[in-house]
Amino acid sequence: MHDDRDAPGVLPDGTPSAAPVEAPRPDDDRRLLLDVAYRLLGSVAEAEDAVQETYARWFAMPAAERARVVTPTAWRVTVCSRLCLDVLRSARVRRERSAGTWLPEPLPAPRWSSRAASHGAHDPADLVTADESLRTAFLVVLERTTPAERVALVLHDVLGYAFAEVADVLGRTPHACRQLASSARRRVAAGPVRPVPVDDAAVAALQDAWRRGDVGALVAVLDPGCVAVVDGGGVVSAPAAPVRGAAAVAGLLAGVAERAPGLTLVRVVANGEPALLAHAGGRALAVVALGLRDGRVADLWVVRDPAKLRGWRVPA
Protein backbone atom coordinates (compact mmCIF):
# COMPACT_ATOMS: atom_id res chain seq x y z
CA MET A 1 0.00 0.00 0.00
CA HIS A 2 1.31 3.41 -0.92
CA ASP A 3 1.94 5.85 1.89
CA ASP A 4 -0.18 8.82 0.84
CA ARG A 5 -0.25 10.58 4.18
CA ASP A 6 -0.99 14.26 4.03
CA ALA A 7 0.23 15.23 7.50
CA PRO A 8 3.67 16.87 7.35
CA GLY A 9 6.13 16.96 10.22
CA VAL A 10 7.32 13.31 10.15
CA LEU A 11 10.60 12.28 8.55
CA PRO A 12 10.60 9.20 6.28
CA ASP A 13 12.23 7.08 9.02
CA GLY A 14 9.30 7.85 11.32
CA THR A 15 11.14 10.48 13.35
CA PRO A 16 9.02 13.57 14.07
CA SER A 17 10.57 16.62 12.46
CA ALA A 18 10.38 20.07 13.92
CA ALA A 19 7.01 21.76 13.77
CA PRO A 20 6.28 23.15 10.30
CA VAL A 21 7.88 26.50 9.71
CA GLU A 22 5.66 29.27 11.04
CA ALA A 23 4.48 31.98 8.71
CA PRO A 24 7.35 34.47 8.83
CA ARG A 25 7.30 38.21 9.09
CA PRO A 26 8.38 39.95 5.88
CA ASP A 27 11.93 40.39 7.19
CA ASP A 28 12.16 36.68 8.03
CA ASP A 29 11.99 35.43 4.47
CA ARG A 30 15.75 35.11 4.10
CA ARG A 31 15.89 32.63 6.98
CA LEU A 32 12.98 30.64 5.57
CA LEU A 33 14.49 30.55 2.08
CA LEU A 34 17.83 29.35 3.44
CA ASP A 35 15.98 26.64 5.40
CA VAL A 36 14.41 25.48 2.16
CA ALA A 37 17.52 25.79 -0.01
CA TYR A 38 20.02 24.14 2.34
CA ARG A 39 17.78 21.11 2.87
CA LEU A 40 17.30 20.77 -0.86
CA LEU A 41 20.92 21.32 -1.86
CA GLY A 42 23.05 20.31 1.14
CA SER A 43 25.39 23.22 0.41
CA VAL A 44 25.50 26.61 2.10
CA ALA A 45 27.11 28.30 -0.89
CA GLU A 46 24.58 26.91 -3.37
CA ALA A 47 21.73 27.72 -0.99
CA GLU A 48 22.89 31.31 -0.64
CA ASP A 49 23.18 31.63 -4.42
CA ALA A 50 19.58 30.42 -4.79
CA VAL A 51 18.34 32.88 -2.18
CA GLN A 52 20.25 35.78 -3.72
CA GLU A 53 18.86 34.96 -7.17
CA THR A 54 15.35 34.76 -5.70
CA TYR A 55 15.63 38.28 -4.32
CA ALA A 56 17.23 39.50 -7.54
CA ARG A 57 14.20 38.27 -9.47
CA TRP A 58 11.82 39.77 -6.91
CA PHE A 59 13.34 43.24 -7.11
CA ALA A 60 13.73 43.01 -10.88
CA MET A 61 9.94 43.02 -11.17
CA PRO A 62 8.26 46.41 -11.60
CA ALA A 63 6.87 47.74 -8.32
CA ALA A 64 3.32 47.52 -9.66
CA GLU A 65 3.79 43.84 -10.48
CA ARG A 66 5.23 43.13 -7.04
CA ALA A 67 2.24 44.86 -5.48
CA ARG A 68 -0.07 42.41 -7.23
CA VAL A 69 1.60 39.42 -5.57
CA VAL A 70 -0.87 38.40 -2.87
CA THR A 71 1.66 36.48 -0.75
CA PRO A 72 5.26 37.59 -1.39
CA THR A 73 6.65 34.89 0.91
CA ALA A 74 4.91 32.14 -1.06
CA TRP A 75 6.17 33.68 -4.30
CA ARG A 76 9.74 33.71 -3.03
CA VAL A 77 9.58 30.14 -1.69
CA THR A 78 8.24 28.96 -5.04
CA VAL A 79 10.96 30.72 -7.02
CA CYS A 80 13.72 29.61 -4.65
CA SER A 81 12.51 26.00 -4.76
CA ARG A 82 12.43 26.03 -8.56
CA LEU A 83 15.97 27.40 -8.66
CA CYS A 84 17.06 24.63 -6.30
CA LEU A 85 15.33 22.07 -8.49
CA ASP A 86 17.38 23.27 -11.46
CA VAL A 87 20.57 23.05 -9.38
CA LEU A 88 19.69 19.55 -8.21
CA ARG A 89 19.20 18.36 -11.77
CA SER A 90 22.56 19.71 -12.89
CA ALA A 91 24.30 18.77 -9.64
CA ARG A 92 23.30 15.13 -10.02
CA VAL A 93 25.20 14.89 -13.29
CA ARG A 94 28.13 16.87 -11.88
CA ARG A 95 28.38 14.72 -8.75
CA GLU A 96 28.18 11.49 -10.72
CA ARG A 97 31.10 12.62 -12.87
CA SER A 98 33.24 13.84 -9.98
CA ALA A 99 35.84 11.68 -8.27
CA GLY A 100 34.87 10.09 -4.99
CA THR A 101 31.72 10.59 -2.96
CA TRP A 102 29.70 13.74 -2.39
CA LEU A 103 28.55 14.55 1.16
CA PRO A 104 26.45 17.47 2.45
CA GLU A 105 28.26 20.46 3.90
CA PRO A 106 28.46 20.17 7.71
CA LEU A 107 27.07 23.07 9.73
CA PRO A 108 28.76 24.13 13.00
CA ALA A 109 26.75 24.36 16.23
CA PRO A 110 27.06 28.17 16.65
CA ARG A 111 24.79 28.49 13.64
CA TRP A 112 21.88 27.95 16.00
CA SER A 113 22.87 30.10 18.96
CA SER A 114 20.79 33.08 20.03
CA ARG A 115 23.43 35.26 18.43
CA ALA A 116 23.02 33.45 15.14
CA ALA A 117 19.26 33.84 15.32
CA SER A 118 19.57 37.58 15.01
CA HIS A 119 19.34 39.14 11.61
CA GLY A 120 22.73 40.69 12.15
CA ALA A 121 24.39 37.34 11.31
CA HIS A 122 26.77 37.71 8.38
CA ASP A 123 27.18 34.05 7.40
CA PRO A 124 24.10 32.65 5.63
CA ALA A 125 24.50 29.40 7.56
CA ASP A 126 23.79 31.38 10.73
CA LEU A 127 20.19 31.64 9.58
CA VAL A 128 19.56 27.94 8.97
CA THR A 129 17.10 26.66 11.55
CA ALA A 130 18.05 23.40 13.30
CA ASP A 131 15.76 20.38 13.44
CA GLU A 132 15.86 16.64 12.80
CA SER A 133 15.85 17.16 9.04
CA LEU A 134 19.35 18.68 9.22
CA ARG A 135 20.96 15.51 10.55
CA THR A 136 23.72 14.26 8.27
CA ALA A 137 22.21 10.77 8.00
CA PHE A 138 18.95 12.21 6.73
CA LEU A 139 20.64 14.49 4.19
CA VAL A 140 22.74 11.55 2.98
CA VAL A 141 19.76 9.30 2.33
CA LEU A 142 18.00 12.15 0.51
CA GLU A 143 20.64 11.68 -2.19
CA ARG A 144 18.79 8.47 -3.14
CA THR A 145 15.78 10.45 -4.31
CA THR A 146 15.21 12.17 -7.65
CA PRO A 147 15.27 15.99 -7.68
CA ALA A 148 11.46 16.20 -7.93
CA GLU A 149 11.02 13.64 -5.15
CA ARG A 150 13.41 15.56 -2.93
CA VAL A 151 11.57 18.83 -3.44
CA ALA A 152 8.21 17.19 -2.72
CA LEU A 153 9.50 15.45 0.39
CA VAL A 154 11.34 18.43 1.87
CA LEU A 155 8.62 20.98 1.19
CA HIS A 156 5.78 18.77 2.42
CA ASP A 157 7.15 16.39 5.07
CA VAL A 158 9.82 18.64 6.52
CA LEU A 159 8.67 22.22 6.03
CA GLY A 160 4.93 21.65 6.17
CA TYR A 161 3.73 22.92 2.81
CA ALA A 162 0.49 21.53 1.37
CA PHE A 163 0.70 19.44 -1.78
CA ALA A 164 -1.19 22.16 -3.64
CA GLU A 165 1.70 24.52 -2.87
CA VAL A 166 4.27 21.89 -3.83
CA ALA A 167 2.40 21.47 -7.11
CA ASP A 168 3.00 25.15 -7.91
CA VAL A 169 6.73 24.59 -7.51
CA LEU A 170 6.97 21.40 -9.54
CA GLY A 171 4.38 22.22 -12.17
CA ARG A 172 2.48 19.02 -11.45
CA THR A 173 -0.86 18.13 -9.91
CA PRO A 174 -1.20 17.82 -6.12
CA HIS A 175 -1.89 14.10 -6.60
CA ALA A 176 1.34 13.68 -8.57
CA CYS A 177 3.26 15.52 -5.85
CA ARG A 178 1.72 13.28 -3.22
CA GLN A 179 2.99 10.28 -5.20
CA LEU A 180 6.44 11.85 -5.49
CA ALA A 181 6.66 12.33 -1.72
CA SER A 182 5.45 8.77 -1.14
CA SER A 183 8.05 7.41 -3.55
CA ALA A 184 10.75 9.46 -1.84
CA ARG A 185 9.78 8.03 1.56
CA ARG A 186 10.10 4.51 0.20
CA ARG A 187 13.52 5.23 -1.30
CA VAL A 188 14.73 6.72 1.98
CA ALA A 189 13.31 3.88 4.06
CA ALA A 190 14.99 1.31 1.79
CA GLY A 191 18.35 3.02 2.05
CA PRO A 192 21.34 1.58 3.90
CA VAL A 193 21.43 4.46 6.37
CA ARG A 194 18.96 4.79 9.22
CA PRO A 195 19.17 8.10 11.12
CA VAL A 196 20.05 7.15 14.70
CA PRO A 197 20.86 9.82 17.31
CA VAL A 198 24.51 9.85 18.33
CA ASP A 199 25.43 10.03 22.01
CA ASP A 200 28.48 11.90 23.23
CA ALA A 201 29.97 8.80 24.91
CA ALA A 202 30.38 7.05 21.56
CA VAL A 203 32.06 10.12 20.12
CA ALA A 204 34.41 10.33 23.11
CA ALA A 205 35.37 6.67 22.77
CA LEU A 206 36.13 7.05 19.07
CA GLN A 207 38.05 10.26 19.73
CA ASP A 208 40.26 8.63 22.35
CA ALA A 209 40.99 5.49 20.32
CA TRP A 210 41.69 7.53 17.17
CA ARG A 211 43.93 10.00 19.00
CA ARG A 212 46.05 7.11 20.30
CA GLY A 213 46.05 5.32 16.96
CA ASP A 214 44.95 2.20 18.82
CA VAL A 215 43.60 -0.16 16.15
CA GLY A 216 42.26 -2.63 18.71
CA ALA A 217 40.36 0.08 20.57
CA LEU A 218 39.04 1.47 17.30
CA VAL A 219 37.72 -1.94 16.24
CA ALA A 220 36.02 -2.27 19.63
CA VAL A 221 34.09 0.99 19.23
CA LEU A 222 33.20 0.39 15.57
CA ASP A 223 30.30 -1.76 14.41
CA PRO A 224 31.57 -4.84 12.51
CA GLY A 225 29.76 -3.65 9.39
CA CYS A 226 30.66 0.01 9.71
CA VAL A 227 31.20 2.16 6.63
CA ALA A 228 33.35 5.27 6.25
CA VAL A 229 32.63 7.67 3.39
CA VAL A 230 35.11 10.47 2.69
CA ASP A 231 34.38 13.57 0.61
CA GLY A 232 37.57 15.24 -0.56
CA GLY A 233 35.85 17.35 -3.18
CA GLY A 234 38.39 16.18 -5.74
CA VAL A 235 40.84 18.58 -4.08
CA VAL A 236 42.38 16.60 -1.20
CA SER A 237 43.11 12.90 -0.91
CA ALA A 238 40.17 10.64 -0.11
CA PRO A 239 39.26 6.99 -0.79
CA ALA A 240 37.41 6.78 -4.09
CA ALA A 241 34.95 4.27 -2.64
CA PRO A 242 33.43 3.76 0.82
CA VAL A 243 35.68 1.90 3.26
CA ARG A 244 33.78 -1.07 4.73
CA GLY A 245 34.28 -3.16 7.85
CA ALA A 246 35.59 -2.35 11.32
CA ALA A 247 39.14 -3.52 10.61
CA ALA A 248 39.42 -1.52 7.38
CA VAL A 249 37.95 1.64 8.91
CA ALA A 250 40.16 1.28 12.00
CA GLY A 251 43.18 0.97 9.73
CA LEU A 252 42.13 4.07 7.81
CA LEU A 253 41.80 6.15 10.99
CA ALA A 254 44.99 4.82 12.55
CA GLY A 255 46.86 5.56 9.34
CA VAL A 256 45.67 9.16 9.43
CA ALA A 257 46.86 9.52 13.04
CA GLU A 258 50.25 8.08 12.12
CA ARG A 259 50.75 10.33 9.09
CA ALA A 260 49.66 13.47 10.95
CA PRO A 261 51.24 13.44 14.43
CA GLY A 262 50.12 17.03 15.01
CA LEU A 263 46.50 16.19 14.35
CA THR A 264 44.08 17.35 17.04
CA LEU A 265 40.59 15.88 17.46
CA VAL A 266 37.90 17.82 19.28
CA ARG A 267 34.27 17.01 19.92
CA VAL A 268 31.91 19.42 18.22
CA VAL A 269 28.30 19.61 17.11
CA ALA A 270 27.65 19.29 13.38
CA ASN A 271 24.13 19.53 11.98
CA GLY A 272 22.76 19.31 15.49
CA GLU A 273 24.59 16.15 16.56
CA PRO A 274 27.91 15.22 18.23
CA ALA A 275 30.78 14.91 15.76
CA LEU A 276 34.55 15.24 15.57
CA LEU A 277 36.59 18.09 14.14
CA ALA A 278 40.13 17.21 13.03
CA HIS A 279 42.50 20.16 12.75
CA ALA A 280 46.20 20.94 12.56
CA GLY A 281 48.25 24.07 12.05
CA GLY A 282 45.25 26.30 12.71
CA ARG A 283 43.23 24.74 9.85
CA ALA A 284 40.15 22.57 9.92
CA LEU A 285 41.04 19.39 8.02
CA ALA A 286 37.92 17.30 8.42
CA VAL A 287 34.54 17.10 10.11
CA VAL A 288 33.43 13.58 10.95
CA ALA A 289 29.70 13.03 11.45
CA LEU A 290 28.66 9.70 12.93
CA GLY A 291 25.82 7.21 12.87
CA LEU A 292 25.23 4.49 15.49
CA ARG A 293 24.03 0.91 15.50
CA ASP A 294 23.53 -0.89 18.81
CA GLY A 295 25.74 1.59 20.64
CA ARG A 296 28.68 1.34 18.23
CA VAL A 297 29.76 3.67 15.46
CA ALA A 298 28.31 2.26 12.25
CA ASP A 299 28.70 5.18 9.83
CA LEU A 300 31.40 7.82 9.47
CA TRP A 301 30.77 10.68 7.03
CA VAL A 302 34.09 12.47 6.68
CA VAL A 303 34.06 15.84 4.94
CA ARG A 304 37.57 16.90 3.84
CA ASP A 305 36.56 19.19 0.99
CA PRO A 306 38.15 22.54 1.96
CA ALA A 307 35.26 24.45 0.36
CA LYS A 308 32.86 22.80 2.81
CA LEU A 309 35.01 23.58 5.87
CA ARG A 310 35.27 27.35 5.49
CA GLY A 311 32.71 27.99 8.21
CA TRP A 312 34.57 25.91 10.82
CA ARG A 313 36.70 27.78 13.31
CA VAL A 314 39.59 25.95 14.95
CA PRO A 315 39.52 26.19 18.78
CA ALA A 316 42.24 28.38 20.23
CATH number of 80's domain: 1.20.140.160
Average pLDDT, the chain: 84
pLDDT (tens digit per residue) in 20-62: 444 444 446 898 999 999 999 999 999 999 999 999 999 999 9
Q: Among 193, 192, 228, 229, which residue's Cα sits nearest to residue 101?
A: 229
Query: Does the residue 106 lie in any domain?
Result: no
The mean pLDDT of 134-139, rounded to a whole number, is: 89
Q: Is the pLDDT of residue 132 over 90?
A: no
Q: Which of 1-10, 89-98, 188-197, 198-207 has the highest mean pLDDT?
A: 198-207
Question: Are 283 and 209 contacting, i.e. CB atoms less than 8 angstroms apart?
Answer: no
Q: Do 223 and 246 meet the contact criterion of CB atoms below 8 Å apart?
A: yes
Statement: residue 13 has pLDDT above 80: no
> Lowest mean pLDDT: which of 157-171, 180-194, 244-258, 269-283?
180-194
Of all helices (H) and strands (E), which one includes residue 176? helix 174-189
CA distance 77 to 254: 46
Q: How many CA atoms lie within 13 A of 7 on its CB side?
A: 7
Q: How confident is the model at residue 208 (pLDDT cuts 50, 70, 90)?
A: very high
pLDDT score, position 101? 83
Question: 86-95, 147-156, 239-248, 274-283: which range is least confident on average?
Answer: 86-95
Q: Are residues 163 and 235 in the same domain?
A: no
Q: Quick one: 47 and 147 in the same domain?
A: yes
65 and 170 part of one domain: yes
Task: Give the residue numbers spanning the domain of 83.
Answer: 26-97+129-189
222 assigned to some structural domain: yes
Q: Express each pLDDT in 177-202 by its tens digit.
A: 999 999 999 998 887 666 677 888 89
Q: What angle do CA 205, 288, 157 make, to 5 degrees?
A: 110
Q: What pLDDT, on the 0 to 100 scale, is given for residue 14? A: 53
Judge if 71 and 180 occupy the same domain. yes
